[in-house]
Structure 1
Amino acid sequence: MRIVVTFLFFCIFSFAVKAQVLRINGCVTDIKTKEVLIGATISNNEASFGVVTNSYGFFSFEHPKGNVQLLCSYLGYETVVIDLCLTKDTTINIQLSPIILEISSVEIIANKSNTRMDKGLGIITVPISTIKNRPKLFGESDLMKSLQFIPGVQQTAEGKSNLTIRGGSPDQNLILLDDIPIYNADHAFGFLSVFNTEALKNVTLYKSGYPARFGGRLSSVIDINTKDGNKEALAGSATLGLLAGSVNFEGPIVKDRTSFFFSARRSLIDLYLMGLQEQANADDFETNRTNFSFSDINAKIHHKISDKTSIYTMLYNGRDKLMNRTGNNDISINQDDIPDRNGNSVLNNIPNQKISNSISEQDWKWGNTIYAIRLNSAVRSNMFLNTTVSYNKYQYETTVDNSFANDSVNVIDALNYSSGVNDYSISLNCEYTPSNKHFLRSGLQFIYHDFFPEILLLHSSGNEATTPNTQPSQKVLSREYSFYIEDIWSISKKLKANIGTRFSLFNVDGIMYNAFDPRLSLRYMLTNKLSIVADYTHMEQYIHMLSNNSLLLQTDLWMSSTSSIKPMRARQLSLGVNQTITSQLTFSFASYYKNMNNVIEYKDGASFSGTSSGWEEKVESGIGRAYGAEFSLEKNLGKTTGTLSYTLSKTEKKFNKINSGDWFPSKYDRRHNINLLVMHKLNSKIDFTLNWVYSSGNMITIPVNSVVTPDIPYYPGKFDELTQLENRNNYRMPAFHRLDVGINYTRKKTKNKGGIWNFSIYNIYNQKNAFKLYEEVDVSRNDVGKLVYTKKLKQVTLFPIIPSISHTYKF
């Protein structure tokens, strides 16, 4: 009874307090396009409190009755001052105008405002303008390459868009496109990401301090939002570069009510590459053809049902294709020249002869498809609901056909490999602001996973076709449930916390895994210019990825946790400080320690071939750890801006049956990493960008001995190489460094029309960085005339100095 009385007392007291304050809510948009602005800051003139807009531009806070002056600011936009006389709950819609020439004091106000959503050191928002202005490879701006200049973020290899973040592998990054996971983020062998920068609105990277609303990966969250479309007028752009071309259109279907956005990008090199190869091989007996292409589409329709309710439909489709054809005519062979999969001749008792036609064809296809419908509503002045239903598909397919034929024999050997995953998902998320001290989020999500690897083998010998030998698809169906709750709590003017937890269940093959993931982030203001941040994060990952890395092509196999392969788990502790040295200069330091459980690695001698059949027997589960320190000096105001950063890190793994059970470095263990970015705006038309990177080399395994054996499944005429290993990842590749420069020239014909020319030079001093190392045997004679065989490491370098040009026309 005493508990009930106490509860009623606090309820009545809270309502009495609330009666003395009023609520202000609304939305912040771009004045020209009506595009909502994510992360805009609204504060009072004394900067005693502040809030920021959510992913849909919505905000809500309390304020006492009477007069109030509000400031609304957003990076790259003019600050708006709003005077109100509060007599009742008020809804205001704020429109901001872009700054044309340079960034003003907006950022200073935003940094000083005492917002409940102040970001920790591990949370970085990357301006889209910065991504577009960086030097470009083949004329293409790239989101993932821009993230590589953030401390703790590194590329997996030169030119690659894959990221390793604080010691994690690329599959441990949760990449969200409008809240939907992307399984494959690569175009063009990984040298370009799948994200068209013209379609992007906001990008936020989480290296630590992950809010409880995110889950399913161990190492990072990359949260990407795309444009909703211009609600005022038809607009667009077209971009032409050396590698690809793109078009973008947006505009109102019903003015101020319904809008659309559409962007399409396609590679161009495949349109003329085949023709050039045909001319080059016109007189040769050997016919070699290699071609690749990629494309992606982003589309969205946004309809405002009312001033408080909106519905969105979204489509993404990305595709890559790689083709290789090799043909030989009139080639003399012996009967032993064509072995079958067991190493025996397929031309038994046939005398030496000529093959009239020999053709080898390889095709690779991969890509993502996403469909989503989203409904959100401000159901109350302090409550926002969002419901999303989505379908997400990733598929990878390889086809290999080898044929040898003449008048008396026909030999065909074919391999078709396909793998992928289908996700069917529904989620419900709620944001609630009971007071200025608390901002609550909670939500539910259900995902139905459908994993499908498959191998199909067709083999015929002589002129009698055999029955196709098929390894049936081993579908793995799983269901994932999750619930989270988090509170951004302004404990005092100096101390703020993000406290939350995430609970998840994963059902596969009759087994139910569960996880309880607590999250805690604290920020304490020691002075107005010095803050300390501490984070603790617990993450769970129920899916695994196995990769087979060739020179250019990376083959990815996504698989579910099973009864024998448990979910991966990670705990990360991070501590850092942030110091505002001057109004333009900021220094930050962060240290972290992360341990990982149930990470997987191929066993010694295991390979990707036939992985869908018994892949669990080819991998070993173990533990990992990563720790390091990150330093950053940033200047973010004025005509010249930039960042200088240094990362010192170490990443190790340990498996009972690998490397004699001892710790060994991860292949992504890059001890030192230095990044320099300088951007200078010469005038309203010309800006200059320079970036330089230095990094320790990746770790690779060099065998001490090797033996060639004629036994590789389903691939005639090829051979496996058995290697003798002493230590896993026992050799560090040479250090990597590169300098890129770029110039942007903007020419405006009218207020809304104009063009942007980009001139970039990649690797300006032509550094020969090692993309891959391989062993080669040199043969020589010693002093007494005997042959001496010496193994030497050779390196493959992909990118010399590469100038590029691109043009974007906007209307």
Structure 2
Amino acid sequence: MKTKHLFFSFLFFILCIKSFSQNATAKVAGIVLDENNKPIENVNVSYLSKSSVTDKNGFYTITVPANQKVVLVFTHVALKNITATLQLKPNEEFEYHIVMSDKAEQLSDVVITSSRRRVQGITSIEPEVIRKNPSAMPGIESVLKVLPGVNSNSELSSQYSVRGGNYDENLVYVNEIEVYRPFLVRSGQQEGLSFTNTDMVKNIDFSAGGFQAKFGDKLSSVLDITYRQPKKFALAAEASFLGGSVTADLVSKNKKWSSITGVRYRDNSLLVNSQETQTNFRPTFMDVQSIVNFTPNDKWNFSFLGNASRNVYNYQPLTRQTNFGTIDEPIALQVFYEGQENDKYETLFGAFKTVFNADENNTYKFISSVYHTKEQEYFDIYAAYFLGEVDTNIGSDTVGEVTFSQGVGTQLNHARNDLDALFFNAEIKGVHQINNKKHQIDWGFKYTRENIRDRIVEWEVIDSAGFSINPPNLDFQGNDQPYNPYVGPLVPYQNVRATNFIDINRLSGYAQWSFKDQIGSTDYWFNFGVRAHNWKVTGDNISSSKNQTTFSPRAQLTLKPNWEKDMIFRFAVGYYHQPPLYRELRDLNGVVNPNVKAQQSIHFVLSNDYNFKMNNRPFKLVTEAYYKSMDDVNTYTLENVRIRYRANNDATAYAQGLDMRLNGAFVPGTESWLSFGYMKTEENQNGRGNIARPTDQRLKFGLLFQDYMPNLPSMKLYMNLVYNTGLPGGSPSYADVYTYQSRLRDYRRADVGFSYVLTEKNTERPDGHWLKRFEDLSFGFEIFNIFNNQNAITNTWVRDVYTKTQYGIPNYMTTRVFNLKLSVKL
């Protein structure tokens, strides 16, 4: 109740503000570099009668009028001119860095979007940073994991958690179209390729909380990706030991038609073979993605986005030995396997989008999409294990081997899981700007139909020291083997069998109002909106389904004082609901509960954005404090990346923390990041007290660093470093989570990439040189997990037959791996 009073008091205060506007100026600042990324002194930067000159570090600053088009001209006695057209808002400080050469003059229309993203608390990531970032799982997600508040302990997975949420709580849009991930994936090494093709990307925006009402119904974050619209023919290709890709840009002669098509292939054998489990294994993944644009005139734009992917995962484990315990009492788990696993994930996705620009102030959009996935998960794996002490005597014939067994047993896992899901979406949106664009109204309505056909058949038989182990929930008295024969029922230790045919119909919509003005000399920007979502679950054997509706009001306020220091303050508050998808409706036994409620979270976010100069180079420090209070929480167990819900809304939870990110030109001409995050999240199930949630990652440090050799600028260096404190080790899905509160070891990983760019000095080469035909040609060498750290993602639980103790055996990820890469762009 207090939270609601606070929210509406805040809204009342904002709506009562008396606003007025005044004419103002804006400031442009940046660094001018040459083609070798060295600063250029004495470059004249002018607009009409105003001018500025770069210093010895290449830095300049100039004041220009706001709210009108400004043409900046960069001139130097030995270099060709550069002309840039831009339009800034009052009191805005815009960073604009350029590279000058002695070749043809350059004309540039600058699209000013940084101010909008800044006031909304959105992190923008350059696509080029992602393409160059060394990572075992390349793509946008690999860079997100360096950001504060974003965590993942699996280098083989594209999944990530944000500020205490799980993998299912993150929205992902491509060209305003929501995309989905497979349902049955259990392990990161099964995932293959992320949906987003990095070579097709233009803009990447990310919000870790407190986002606007126009974004959908999830609890944690929004990743908003925009694909580019090509202007000319281009061809890009990449090849490495992990696979390859080819991307082609096509444009018609009349410029009305354009398309980008990308084909990607991935083979994770190099990474998987570095794990402890020895296998006969060659996982392969392939997808084709294409976007076609048609722009008949200035008012209409039509586009189609299509994607087809096929992931084949054939897995035959052979042996595994995991050493753990302490130096004084080393313990090892030694496993011998028989059997195999055959998984297949096939998805088809198509989306049609129409944009109608009625006039300068009114835009309408229609979006429809279809997503179809067919997934199968078949395995029969028999494992015989020995749990015991390790011989540590150097020189012994059995050094490193298990010499005394504390536990001997076998385990047989079986699954025949099939899922067929078809999603259909239709949505209409509108954007209206009023009163010289001071006000903006956004609205939208969406219909979704989800059809799921799911069969789950899983069972596990455990034998320890020759005795079949009954499940802990079997109520049978009198089992005192081996003294007396057991005459009770023989049942699997785990047995999950269910068939579900269900339909979910959803209606959702939003309306939001944005307003910008001034209070005295302070600029402010305000946004208020509300979302509504109605859904009902129907299907075979479902008769008691309820029609449920949620409302989610949200507000943001941003202030920019007229200070000498360039600072922005932002406060966001709002209700966030997550109506359950199919996976959240299915409990640990595979039974669907159609009346699972939407999880609810109230976000409070307070942030500061500070732009400053250090060594005459631009930097930005963003600090955010947040608190999330959660009700009707649908608790879950986490095994690798598979989430299984209890589907009972029996818990409350909270998450609180502090995120800090410093980014800027640590090296002239490059951008690097340094991130820090503190977070604590706990849940309370049925009033039993607070315990750590599976995503309770207390401390996080991240570094993304770029550099080049001053005497050899063609040689580039890229480093990706992450340190996370250990996550809770999880618990078996059948167990009481309150009795399993151990933590995994800290996660430490560093990936390094070196790239030699042959086309770095193309402007200095004569016409007709063979390298002139390439826009980019580079060779790369990458070292994944350069320090060879052993990182665990979850535990395997093994019973000691003597002490009846269950040991959590870490499931370690990949070791050090080397990779070569070739990149070509025409």
Q: Residues 701 and 727 of structure 1 are in contact (CA less than 8 Å); yes or no, is this contact kept in structure 2?
A: no
Please give the TM-score of this superposition, normalised by the length of structure 1.
0.69
Q: Does 1:478 pair with 2:482? A: no
Mapped partners of 2:164, 2:777: distance in 1: 41
CA contact 2:193–2:266 (8 Å) conserved in 1: no
Q: Distance in 2 between matches of 1:763 and 1:402?
A: 30
Establish whether residue 388 from structure 1 lines up as the match of residue 367 from structure 2: yes
Between 1:311-320 and 1:632-641, the stretch displaced more is: 632-641
Relative to structure 1, the CA distance from residue 672 to residue 422 in structure 2 (aligned partners, 3 Å threshold; closer, same or farther) is same
Q: Against the structure 1 CA distance between its residues 308 and 156, is the aligned structure 2 distance closer, same or farther, given a 3 Å change threshold?
A: same
Deviates more, 1:172-181 or 1:586-595: 172-181
**Match for residue 541 of structure 1 among 578, 586, 594:** 578
Q: Residue 596 of structure 1 corresponds to which residue in structure 2?
A: 630
Aligned equivalents of 1:453, 1:441: Cα separation in 2: 37
Hey, what does 1:324 align to over in structure 2? 315
Distance 2:231 2:314 in 1: 42
User: CA contact under 8 A between 2:192 and 2:284: conserved in structure 1?
Assistant: no
Aligned 8 A contact 1:231 1:257 in 2? no
Q: Which residue of 2 aligns with 1:366?
A: 345
Q: Output the CA distance in 1 between the equivalents of 2:508 and 2:803.
A: 63
Do 1:126 and 1:202's aligned partners in 2 also have CA atoms closer than 8 Å? yes
Amino acid across the alignment from 1:155: S
1:727, 1:188 → 2: CA distance? 29
Change (3 A) 1:71 1:451: farther
Please give the residue correspondences for 1:100-249 in structure 2 after superposition, counting only pairs within 5 Å.
Answer: 117-120=116-119, 122-137=121-136, 141-184=138-181, 188-190=189-191, 193-228=194-229, 230-233=230-233, 235-249=234-248
Cα distance in 1, alignment partners of residues 642 and 143 from structure 2: 31
CA distance in 2, matches of 1:799, 1:402: 22
2:130 counterpart SS class: helix
Aligned counterpart for 1:517 among listed residues 549, 552, 556 = 552
Q: Deviations over 1:609-659 (max 9, x none)?
A: 9x9xxx87x755322211101122221472343221211110111211xxx
Structure 2: which amino acid aligns with 1:184?
R
Any idea what SS the aligned residue of 1:117 has?
A: helix
Matching residue of 1:808: 823
The equivalent residue for 1:494 is 523
TM-score after normalising by structure 2 = 0.67
Which residue does the alignment assign to 2:721?
692
> 2 CA distance for matches of 1:576 and 1:272?
39
CA distance in 2, matches of 1:487, 1:45: 37
Query: Corresponding residue for 2:357?
Result: 378
Q: CA deviation at 1:698?
A: 0.9
Change (3 A) 1:290 1:640: closer
Which residue number corresponds to residue 585 of structure 1? 619
Query: 1:453 deviation in Å?
Result: 1.4
Indicate the residue corresponding to 1:5 in structure 2: none
Shift of 1:272: 14
* Letter paired with 1:758: G
TM-fit CA distance, 1:665:
0.4
| 1:233-258 Cα distance to aligned partner (Å, 9 max, x none) | 3x211211111111111112344110
Quote the Cα distance in structure 2 between the aligned partners of 1:635 and 1:79.
24
Question: Is the partner of 2:168 in helix, strand or coil?
Answer: helix
Secondary structure at the counterpart of residue 145 of structure 1:
helix
Q: CA shift at 1:518, angstroms?
A: 1.2
CA contact (8 A) 1:451 1:560 kept: no
Q: Aligned pair in 2 of structure 1 residues 144, 652: CA closer, same or farther (>3 Å)? A: same
What secondary structure is seen at the aligned counterpart in 1 of 2:283? strand
User: Which of 296, 311, 314 is 2:302 aligned to?
Assistant: 311
Between 1:683-692 and 1:625-634, the stretch displaced more is 683-692
Are the counterparts in 2 of residues 439 and 489 from structure 1 also a CA contact under 8 Å?
yes
Match of 1:763 among 770, 781, 785: 785
Q: Would the aligned equivalents of 1:156 and 1:162 in 2 still touch at CA under 8 Å?
A: no
> Counterpart of 1:594 in 2: which secondary structure?
strand
| Corresponding residue for residue 51 of structure 1 | none
Q: In 1, distance between residues paired with 2:697 and 2:665?
A: 28
Q: Deviations over 1:742-801 (max 9, x none)?
A: 11222231154441222111221222223343456789xxxxxxx889876543332222
Return the offset for 1:175. Answer: 1.3
Counterparts of 1:557 and 1:319 in 2: how far apart (Å)?
28
Conservation of the 8 A alpha-carbon contact between 2:660 and 2:677: yes
Residue 384 to residue 801, structure 1, CA distance change in 2 (3 Å): same
Amino acid paired to 1:300: I
Does the 8 Å CA contact 1:361/1:402 hold for their aligned counterparts?
yes
Change (3 A) 1:219 1:438: same
- The code of the aligned residue for 2:576 comes to M
The 2-side partners of 1:364 and 1:100 are apart by 53
**What do the CA deviations read for 1:250-297 (whole angstroms, capped 9, x no partner)?**
1123441101111011124679999xxxxxxxxxxxx98433211111
**1:507, CA displacement in angstroms?**
2.7
Give the whole-Å Cα distance in 2 for the aligned partners of 1:561 and 1:547. 9
Summarize the Cα distance change of 1:728–1:312 in structure 2 as closer, same or farther, 3 Å threshold. farther
Structure 2: how far apart are the matches of 1:175 and 1:439? 24
CA contact (8 A) 2:237 2:823 kept: yes
How many correspondences in the alignment?
A: 627
Match of 2:16 in 1: none
CA distance in 2, matches of 1:325, 1:639: 48
Deviation digits for residues 325-358 of structure 1, max 9, x if unmatched? Answer: 589xxxxxxxxxxxxxxxxxxxxxxxxxxxxxx9
CA gap 1:163/1:790 in 2 versus in 1, 3 angstroms: closer
User: Which amino acid in structure 2 is aligned with residue 491 of structure 1?
Assistant: D
Q: Secondary structure at the match of 1:475?
A: strand
Residue 180 to residue 621, structure 1, CA distance change in 2 (3 Å): farther
Matches within 5 A, 1:604-643: 621-636=650-665, 638-643=668-673
Q: Are residue 730 (structure 1) and residue 733 (structure 2) matched?
A: no
Map of 2:695 onto structure 1: 668
State the partner residue of 1:24: none
Q: Would the alpha carbon gap of residues 115 and 45 (structure 1) be closer, same or farther in structure 2, given more than 3 Å must change?
A: farther
Q: Equivalent of 1:652, from 682, 698, 720?
A: 682
Distance across 2 between alignment mates of 1:558 and 1:471: 7
* Corresponding residue of 1:26: none
Two-structure CA RMSD over aligned residues (Å): 4.5
Distance in 2 between residues matched to 1:758 and 1:556, nearest whole Å: 46
Does structure 1 residue 572 correspond to structure 2 residue 633?
A: no
Q: Secondary structure at the match of 2:199?
A: helix
Q: Is the 8 A contact 1:665 1:729 kept in 2?
A: no
Equivalent residue letter for 1:741: V
> In the alignment, which residue of structure 2 is the partner of 1:798?
813
SS in 1 for 2:695: coil
| 1:418 alignment counterpart | 418
- Structure 1 window deviating more from structure 2 (532-541 vs 248-257): it is 248-257
Q: Per-residue displacement from partner, 1:377-399 (whole Å, max 9, x unpaired)?
A: 21112111111111122343123
Change (3 A) 1:82 1:454: closer
Q: State the identity as a percent.
A: 19
Indicate which of 80, 85, 100 corresponds to 1:81.
Answer: 85
Query: Is contact 2:637-2:730 (8 Å) kept?
Result: no
Does the aligned pair in 2 maintain the 1:454–1:472 contact within 8 Å? yes
Which residue in 1 is equivalent to 2:10?
A: none
- 8 Å Cα contact 2:152-2:159 kept in structure 1: yes
Show structure 1 runs of 5+ residues with no match.
Answer: 1-16, 22-43, 48-61, 84-95, 275-286, 328-357, 404-412, 459-469, 549-554, 704-720, 780-786
Distance 2:754 2:100 in 1: 18
